[in-house]
Amino acid sequence: MGSEMSSDEDVESIPLSFFDDNGKTVGASPEEVPAPLSGGVVLDQMYSVSAKALNAILFKPGSAFVQDLIASQRSTDYAEEPWRKAGNEPIKRTISYVKAATKLVKAVRATEVQTYTRADDKCFVVSITCATPDAPYGGNFVVELQVEFIHPCIFPSICFYQVLSHFNVL
C-alpha cells in the first residue's frame, strides 16, 4: 500500500557530457519554467557565459568551483551522489557536508536534494531543498532554493542567473 519505488533497472546515470558546453543541443524540456518561490529573489545577475557553461560550473560532478566554495566555508565531509534519472522522475542527486561551527551554532550536517525541474537550450532550473536537522530547531524547517540559468533569445553567449528562496517551516 506504500508508494512504488523505481527498481535499479529503471535508474540511469546522467553522463558528464550533459554538462559540456560543446555547442550541442540539450533538446527541449517538456516541463514549463517553474513559478518563482514565494521568498523572493536572493540574487539576480547577468553573465557573459552560456547557460550551459554556468550550469556546469555549479552542478557538474566534481566541480572545482564547488570544491573551492566548500573549502572557503570551512565545510568538511563533502559527498555528492551522481546525477540520476529514475523512470519519468526528474534528474536529481543528493549532496551532504558538515558546515563549520560558528560562535552561535556547533558544526552541523547539511543534506541537499538537487532536482532539475527544467533542462533545455532555453534554460536550466534546479530546485534545491536543504535540511540541517542537527541545528537548533533544525527539524522544524527546510530551506528551498530555485536556481535558474536563462538564455535570452537574442544573445546566446549571455545568460541570466537568478536564485530564489523560500523558508519552509514544517
Q: In whole angstroms, what is the distance from residue 108 CA to residue 73 CA?
A: 13
The neighbouring-strand residues paired with 46 are 160
Task: Judge whether 87 and 9 are in contact, CB under 8 Å.
Answer: no
Task: For 96-132, write each residue's pLDDT tens digit.
Answer: 999 999 998 899 999 999 999 988 877 889 999 999 9
Task: Judge whether 86 and 6 are in contact, CB under 8 Å.
Answer: yes
Cell of 79: 559527498
Residue type, position 106, single letter: K
State the number of CA atoms in the 13 A half-sphere of 1 facing the CB: 0
pTM of the model: 0.84
Q: In whole angstroms, what is the distance from residue 144 CA to residue 112 CA?
A: 9
**Choice between 159 and 27, residue whose per-residue pLDDT is larger:** 159
CATH of domain 41-169: 3.30.530.20
Cell of 63: 566541480
Task: For 20-32, write each residue's pLDDT tens digit.
Answer: 776 655 666 766 7
Match 550550469 to its residue by C-alpha cell. 55
Q: In whole angstroms, what is the distance from residue 53 CA to residue 50 CA?
A: 5
Mean pLDDT of the 141-165 span: 79
Q: In whole angstroms, what is the distance from residue 121 CA to residue 128 CA?
A: 21
Task: Judge whether 159 and 150 are in contact, CB under 8 Å.
Answer: yes
Domains of the chain: which residue ranges?
Answer: 41-169
